[in-house]
Structure 1
Amino acid sequence: MKKLSFVVPMKASTSEPPSPADCRWLYEMKFDGYRGIAIKNGKQVELLSRNRNSLDVRFPEVVTAIAKLPVDRCVIDGEICALDPKGRTSFQLIQNAEEGTVPIVYYAFDLLFEGSNDLRTLPLVERKERLDALLVDAHDPVRPSVYFDRDVAKTLTRMRKIGAEGAIAKVRDSAYVAGSRSADWVKIRFSLQQEFVIGGYSEPKGSRSGFGALLLGYYDKDRRLIYASKVGTGFNDKTLASTFRLLQVRVRKKSPFAPFELKRTRWTRGPLSKVHWVKPDLVAQISFTEWTDDGSIRHPVFLGLRDDKPSMQVVREPVARAK
């Protein structure tokens, strides 16, 4: 019997959200964590990130719970999340998950293989029904992602009020197309977040240690790194120290940013002695309030580093807000 293997995750697009009255769609929470593909082959379980990096050691409680599922072989798509005291997923909190200081949940939202059956061409609703049946007696921290298709507008409003990051709208009859960014899945954001590449950092001021702010950018269609903003908030002593250690081994003399874009920023007003450039391979998750007309972001806050996305894949994401 052929061993089940990794499936490149299907991704949601940032297209215009569907009308809440359109009955072709169902909705579920947009989780703020790490995408995780769980693969069970008999007694062997693997938990892999979207980049196929192993998460087994970091989240052993998820691996143990998947191993106890009443099926010999399966592949599940889901999100590994840390929960704050109000039960909301938090990317900042998951940075401390190794220390066992926060509760972890694996929200399973799709079943790709069950036994020897490849389910990816089945309608989404059927895959979810099979997934719910498989997880009916699942052990924590594995839980099914709850979806809804009634009172959509009211439910989205309630989700926004409790501080959820957003929702994902999915076509009820959609197939699972591995590796694609499909218009059948659409992100609906209540707040703005995305990944940015770190291209440098400034010197700290006052009593602050490590660095003052990170210089952030994204890649355009010509593979140029476009400067977007600096971020100096959202750090604690631990994340300042750990991020600074990673920056120090990446220092370089030349700016990685596109020169024309960098000229628009205040970092080139006067000498650049207080800015250190780095190899642009670190990716940060950032929340912010809006994009400005000149291509910058306002009120950025650092949420954490991502090791599950290559820096060259970081682009400016179109904004699709809930109606």
Structure 2
Amino acid sequence: MKLPVMPPLKPMLAKSVPEIPPSLHYEPKWDGFRCIVFRDGDEVELGSRNERPITRYFPEVVAALKDSLPARCVVDGEIVIVRGKKLDFDALLNRIHPADSRVRLLAAQTPASLIAFDLLALDDRSLMAQPFRERRLLLERALIRGPMVHATPATQDLGVARDWFEQFEGAGLDGIVAKPLDLPYRPDQRAMFKIKHDRTADCVVAGFRWHKNDRVVGSLLLGLYDGSEQLQHVGVSASFPLRRRRELVQELEPYQQHDLDGHPWAEWARAEAHQGGRLPGAQSRWNAKKGLSWVALRPELVCEVAYDHMEGTRFRHTAQFRRWRPDRDPRTCGYDQLEEPVSYDLARILGH
């Protein structure tokens, strides 16, 4: 492979802002795996956000790209899986598997697609120094759309972007990305803007994990009660300064439950309970050496957290701790408090 832009390459990033800024280029924010595609004839490499190749996990995407992309190019985009009328991030996570036979099976059962949104190189020319306006135009001309390769919808109309922000969440999308039209491509810099939904929920804190580098709290394990009054693990809150992490050790110490009998997550301490998903104490899918041991707490503490959206029964991203809620009865912290977005057909977004 010999391209004007070579792997590995860190993608350009976006910084969070509370509102959609005016007078920019707007696109839906896709909820998948960020991917930079390098193609040189029959050679195709898929690079992830952390610069690791993920080519082997998506053979069907590689085949589709050979039909849809120019023979020599570098494209920035997002790998997603569409199931029914919306995106399925859990199915996408399951595609990262060490066994080739499993990879091939999942490629047939849950095929992925690429949503392209930037063109970084074409033939022998690097486009990274060119304004985004030019790169977008060249992308639209170069891309041959197919059932598994799409150019992301785009608009410069702020009103349309606001409508997308409200409507597209129902199809599993993640908000809006706003880009200056004169923006060159800046790897690993937060040069774009992202606007995501901000909601709050009162959650039970039923455990915590130690920080990987110190004997301080790394993350709080959050739970919500379902309709059968079972406390389900719904996500984590982990963004604390070091001083606050140390304070949390003292605040949580009186609630530690060393004997797991009677704890709602006792079964998760058994190895056989870890086979089905990402539960407290389970092994990380992305790093087999990363320990996720946890400390059980009596389910008596309630905190308010901010979250953007749900993926199934869990928070899609790390929730942001807002405050303790000593006035709340933990048993009243259920899924019924969560806002449900109105369903929206993803096919309408992709123009099918």
TM-score band, normalised by the shorter chain? 0.5 to 0.7
Matched residue type, 1:227: S
Gaps of 5+ in 2: 96-102, 227-231, 233-243, 261-265, 270-279, 285-289, 293-301, 323-352
Are residues 18 and 230 of structure 1, via their aligned partners in 2, closer, same or farther at CA, if it must alter by over 3 Å? closer
Residue of structure 1 equivalent to 2:331: none
Structure 1 residue 170, shift from structure 2 partner: 1.3
Matched residue type, 1:264: E
Cα distance in 2 between the residues matched to 1:218 and 1:16 = 29
Residue of structure 2 equivalent to 1:170: 179
1:228 aligns with 2:214: no
Residue of structure 1 equivalent to 2:125: 117
User: Normalized per residue, which structure has more helix?
Assistant: 2
Are residues 82 and 260 of structure 1, via their aligned partners in 2, closer, same or farther at CA, if it must alter by over 3 Å? same
1:35 aligns with 2:34: yes
Picking from 151, 164, 167, the partner of 1:158 is 167
Cα distance in 2 between the residues matched to 1:125 and 1:317 = 38
Question: Does the 8 Å CA contact 1:65/1:138 hold for their aligned counterparts?
Answer: no
Residue of structure 2 equivalent to 1:249: none
1:93 aligns with 2:91: yes
Q: How many residues align?
A: 254
Cα distance in 1 between the residues matched to 2:132 and 2:67 = 24
Counterpart mapping for 1:25-104 below 5 A: 25-69=24-68, 71-86=70-85, 88-97=86-95, 98=103, 99=106, 100-104=108-112
Are residues 62 and 46 of structure 1, via their aligned partners in 2, closer, same or farther at CA, if it must alter by over 3 Å? same
Structure 1 residue 146, shift from structure 2 partner: 1.0
Picking from 136, 141, 153, the partner of 1:146 is 153
Cα distance in 2 between the residues matched to 1:217 and 1:15 = 30
Give identity over the alignment, percent: 25
Cα distance in 1 between the residues matched to 2:225 and 2:66 = 40
Question: Does the 8 Å CA contact 2:77/2:117 hold for their aligned counterparts?
Answer: yes
Structure 1 residue 109, shift from structure 2 partner: 0.5
SS in 2 for 1:57: helix
Measured against aligned partners, the alpha-carbon deviations of 1:225-282 in whole angstroms (never above 9, x if no partner) come to: 5433335789xxxxx9xxxxxxxxxxxxxxxx944223434x7514424386969937
Cα distance in 1 between the residues matched to 2:60 and 2:68 = 13
Are residues 16 and 282 of structure 1, via their aligned partners in 2, closer, same or farther at CA, if it must alter by over 3 Å? farther
Cα distance in 2 between the residues matched to 1:38 and 1:233 = 42
1:262 aligns with 2:249: yes
Cα distance in 2 between the residues matched to 1:317 and 1:172 = 35
Counterpart mapping for 1:292-307 below 5 A: 296=305, 301-302=313-314
Picking from 5, 12, 15, the partner of 1:13 is 15
TM-score between the two structures when normalised by the length of structure 2: 0.59
SS in 2 for 1:148: coil
Structure 1 residue 76, shift from structure 2 partner: 0.7
SS in 1 for 2:109: coil
Question: Does the 8 Å CA contact 2:209/2:217 hold for their aligned counterparts?
Answer: no
Cα distance in 2 between the residues matched to 1:29 and 1:303 = 20
Are residues 17 and 123 of structure 1, via their aligned partners in 2, closer, same or farther at CA, if it must alter by over 3 Å? farther
Structure 1 residue 132, shift from structure 2 partner: 1.0
Picking from 173, 188, 191, the partner of 1:179 is 188
- Rg comparison, structure with higher value: 2
Are residues 180 and 54 of structure 1, via their aligned partners in 2, closer, same or farther at CA, if it must alter by over 3 Å? same
Residue of structure 2 equivalent to 1:133: 141
Question: Does the 8 Å CA contact 1:9/1:77 hold for their aligned counterparts?
Answer: yes
TM-score between the two structures when normalised by the length of structure 1: 0.64
Structure 1 residue 214, shift from structure 2 partner: 7.2
Gaps of 5+ in 1: 194-201, 203-212, 235-239, 241-256, 284-292, 307-313, 319-323
CA RMSD of aligned residues (A): 4.2
Matched residue type, 2:166: T
Structure 1 residue 179, shift from structure 2 partner: 1.0
SS in 1 for 2:140: helix
Structure 1 residue 117, shift from structure 2 partner: 1.1
Matched residue type, 1:145: T
Structure 1 residue 89, shift from structure 2 partner: 2.0
Cα distance in 2 between the residues matched to 1:233 and 1:35 = 33
Structure 1 residue 64, shift from structure 2 partner: 1.2
Structure 1 residue 181, shift from structure 2 partner: 1.7
